[in-house]
Structure 1
Amino acid sequence: MSDGVKVVRDGHVLEITLDRPKVNAIDVPTSQALAAAFQQLHEDKDLRCAILTGGGDKIFSAGWDLKALNAGEMQLDNWWETDDYGFGGFTGLTENWALNKPVIAAINGLAIGGGFEMALGCDLLIAADHVEFGLPEMPLGIVPDAGALQRLPRRIPHNIAMEMFLLGRRMSAEEAAHYGLVNKVVPRAQLMDAAREWAASIAWSAPLAMQSVKEVEREIECVPLQEAFARMRGGGLPTYRKMLKSADAAEGVAAFVEKREPKFRGE
Structure 2
Amino acid sequence: MASLDPVLDKDGVRLTVDETIATVTLTNPAKLNAQSPALWRALAEAGSALPGSVRVVVLRAEGKSFSAGLDRRMFTPEGIEGEPSFTDLARGSDAKLDAAIAGFQEAFTWWRRNDIVSIAAVQGHAIGAGFQLALACDLRVVADDVQFAMRETSLGLVPDLAGTHPLVGLVGRARALEICATGRFVAAEEAVSTGLANISVPREQLDDTVRDLASALLAAPRDAVIETKALLVGASGRTYDEQRAAERAAQARRIRDLAGVGE
Q: Which TM bucket (shorter chain)?
A: 0.7 to 0.9
> What letter matches 2:43 in structure 1?
L
Partner of 1:133, secondary structure, is strand
> What letter matches 1:8 in structure 2?
T
Change (3 A) 1:127 1:143: same
Q: Once the 2 structures are TM-superposed, how far is the Cα of residue 120 of structure 1 from its aligned partner? A: 1.0
Structure 2 counterpart of 1:27: 36
Structure 2 counterpart of 1:67: 73
* Residues 28 and 84, structure 1, Cα contact 8 Å, conserved in 2: no
Q: Once the 2 structures are TM-superposed, how far is the Cα of residue 227 of structure 1 from its aligned partner? A: 1.9
In structure 2, what is the Cα distance between the partners aligned to 1:144 and 1:176?
18
Structure 2 counterpart of 1:264: none
Structure 2 counterpart of 1:259: none
* Residues 208 and 242, structure 1, Cα contact 8 Å, conserved in 2: no
> What letter matches 1:122 in structure 2?
C
Structure 2 counterpart of 1:262: none
Q: RMSD over aligned Cα, in angstroms?
A: 2.6
Q: TM-score, normalised by structure 1?
A: 0.79
Structure 2 counterpart of 1:105: 120
Equivalent position to 1:125, from 130, 135, 140 = 140
Structure 1 counterpart of 2:209: 194
Deviations 1:234-264 (A, max 9, x none): 6xx8xx8764543xx459xxxxxxxxxxxxx
In structure 2, what is the Cα distance between the partners aligned to 1:22 and 1:187?
23
Structure 2 counterpart of 1:82: 100
* Residues 94 and 117, structure 1, Cα contact 8 Å, conserved in 2: no
Partner of 2:31, secondary structure, is coil
Structure 2 counterpart of 1:7: 15
Query: Unaligned stretches of 5+ in structure 2?
Result: 1-8
Deviations 1:109-130 (A, max 9, x none): 2111111111111111100000
> What letter matches 2:53 in structure 1?
D
* Residues 109 and 130, structure 1, Cα contact 8 Å, conserved in 2: yes
Deviations 1:159-188 (A, max 9, x none): 322221111111101111111110100001
Structure 2 counterpart of 1:37: 46
Matched residue count: 239
In structure 1, what is the Cα distance between the partners aligned to 2:171 and 2:117?
21
Q: Once the 2 structures are TM-superposed, how far is the Cα of residue 107 of structure 1 from its aligned partner? A: 0.5
2:241 equivalent to 1:226: yes
Change (3 A) 1:250 1:67: farther
Structure 1 counterpart of 2:59: 52
Query: Unaligned stretches of 5+ in structure 1?
Result: 252-267
Structure 2 matches for 1:87-166, cutoff 5 A?
89-91=105-107, 93-94=108-109, 98-166=113-181
* Residues 231 and 247, structure 2, Cα contact 8 Å, conserved in 1: yes
Q: Once the 2 structures are TM-superposed, how far is the Cα of residue 11 of structure 1 from its aligned partner? A: 2.9
Partner of 1:26, secondary structure, is coil
Structure 2 counterpart of 1:177: 192
In structure 2, what is the Cα distance between the partners aligned to 1:163 and 1:12?
39
* Residues 29 and 85, structure 1, Cα contact 8 Å, conserved in 2: no
